[in-house]
Amino acid sequence: MDNQTLSATFQQFYGESPALVAHAPGRVNLIGEHTDYNEGFVFPAAINFGTWVAAAKRSDDVINVTAMDYDNQQNEFALTDIQYDENQGWANYVRGVVKVLKEAMPDFSGANLLVTGNVPQGAGLSSSASFEIAILKAISALYALPLDGVKAALLGQKAENTFVGCSCGIMDQLISAMGNEGQAMLLDCQSLDIQHSPLPDSHQIVIINSNVKRGLVDSEYNLRREQCEEGAAILGVSSLREANMTMLEETKSRMSDVVYRRAKHIITENQRTLEASEALKVGDIQTVSTAMAQSHVSMRDDFEITVRPIDYLVEIIDEVLGNTGGVRMTGGGFGGCVVALAPTDKVDAVKQVVADKYFDETGYQADIYVCTATQGAFA
């Protein structure tokens, strides 16, 4: 979306030009799945798909937002009375972030907003966090609020947890706010410490959307969270971040097989994530390849969040890449996307194998996005 089109559309709806256009990227997680709410490590990259918000001040205390991607639906609410909207689900992301921002930094008034994005919805590439961070960036820039990326991420997460009603971790918002161009970000979800690792110039991030709609994801996500908390309680630690495999084996007899396997995934996934981020710093793709492969197996067998079409995509892409790149499911699970770190000269072969085999095997058509790592909204 170019700013000119956005400005012209804003003019149509509001009869004036926007004061600014804010942008926040979506993200793909290269490795470290479901570790974020267990205070562990994740390794995402901000991608060149995102959300744009054109904004202008109003003289009253009303927020009016127009969503281009929802047939130009409009939603209006007063800053003094922000309630959950049962009819327009998308509007609750705006209402939620404005509510938590108002509580944290009350020094702003109304705004006209026009929102559009190109993050594929429901694919696990975090269109919601991109949306939240873009709104926070727009309003904080409009009113010169002292909001930094970490604070913005925490507010976005709070809005999603307390207003929208999804108990997500902090990763999606933080990478959208703080990503670096050409790099992936190792995030310690306990301390919020950030380290960046360069992505190799020789490789591309390829995202393959299985187009399996993620039907169970909210209920199963919350169930996995409860199982992880149960595992931590039996282990006597505040979160699975504090556990290791020796401790887990010692307490195995005291937990159900399911809770044991959930905990095993988190403990081993944290280790793989650290190994992959260190390996990329020295250009060791083989170690990254192994870590991504093991991550997928762990999500499939121990955390049980993959589905057959996703597993099939990973199998056929792995045959193309071998140890020259990596491939695994990414996101919350039960559908969504596969991410591959593929040598540039094998990207066409990845596209070809998906085109040749995936539909015939599964009955689904895949969408493929070749991405670059881009800058976060507050970086």
What are the pLDDT digits (tens) for 167-203? Answer: 778 899 999 999 999 999 999 999 999 999 999 999 9
Which among 198, 233, 257 is the end of a domain? 198
Same domain, 64 and 43: yes
pLDDT of residue 3: 85
- The CATH number that applies at residue 353 is 3.30.70.890
Q: Stretch 215-221: mean pLDDT, rounded?
A: 76
User: Per-residue confidence at 1, pLDDT binned at 50, 70, 90?
Assistant: confident
User: Contact, 19 vs 55, CB < 8 A?
Assistant: yes
Q: Does 376 fall in a domain?
A: no
Q: Stretch 278-299: mean pLDDT, rounded?
A: 97
Structural domain span for residue 28: 3-198
Same domain, 192 and 231: no
* Poorest-pLDDT segment among 54-63, 213-222, 297-306: 213-222
* Poorest-pLDDT segment among 156-170, 258-272, 330-344: 156-170
- Judged by DSSP in three states, 223 sits in helix
Same domain, 158 and 256: no
Number of domains within the chain: 2
Residues recognised as catalytic: 172
The secondary structure of 264-304 as a DSSP string is HHHHHHHHHHHHHHHHHHTT-HHHHHHHHHHHHHHHHHTS-
pLDDT of residue 216: 63
Task: State the pTM of this model.
Answer: 0.90
Say if residue 14's pLDDT is above 80.
yes
Same domain, 23 and 110: yes
Same domain, 159 and 282: no
Which among 153, 179, 198 is the end of a domain? 198
pLDDT 10s digits, 305-332: 999 999 999 999 999 999 999 999 998 8
* Percent of the chain as helix, strand, coil, to the nearest 5: 50, 20, 30
User: Contact, 55 vs 18, CB < 8 A?
Assistant: yes
Same domain, 193 and 221: no
pLDDT of residue 127: 86
pLDDT 10s digits, 91-147: 999 999 999 999 999 999 999 999 999 987 766 677 899 999 999 999 999 999 999
Same domain, 74 and 220: no
- The CATH number that applies at residue 36 is 3.30.230.10
Same domain, 325 and 243: yes
Q: Does 379 fall in a domain?
A: no
Q: Does 336 fall in a domain?
A: yes
Same domain, 329 and 210: yes
Q: Does 112 fall in a domain?
A: yes
Q: Does 93 fall in a domain?
A: yes
Which among 136, 168, 198 is the end of a domain? 198
- For residue 87, what is the enclosing H or E element? none
Q: Does 377 fall in a domain?
A: no
Ramachandran angles phi, psi of 168, nearest 5°: -75, 160
Same domain, 157 and 267: no
**With pLDDT > 70 as the criterion, what percentage of the chain qualifies?**
99
Alpha-carbon gap, residue 12 to 208, rounded angstroms: 36
In sequence order, the β-bridge partners of residue 76 are 64
Same domain, 18 and 153: yes
Q: Does 304 fall in a domain?
A: yes
Same domain, 23 and 170: yes
**With pLDDT > 90 as the criterion, what percentage of the chain qualifies?**
91
- Judged by DSSP in three states, 210 sits in coil
Alpha-carbon gap, residue 24 to 90, rounded angstroms: 17
pLDDT of residue 370: 95
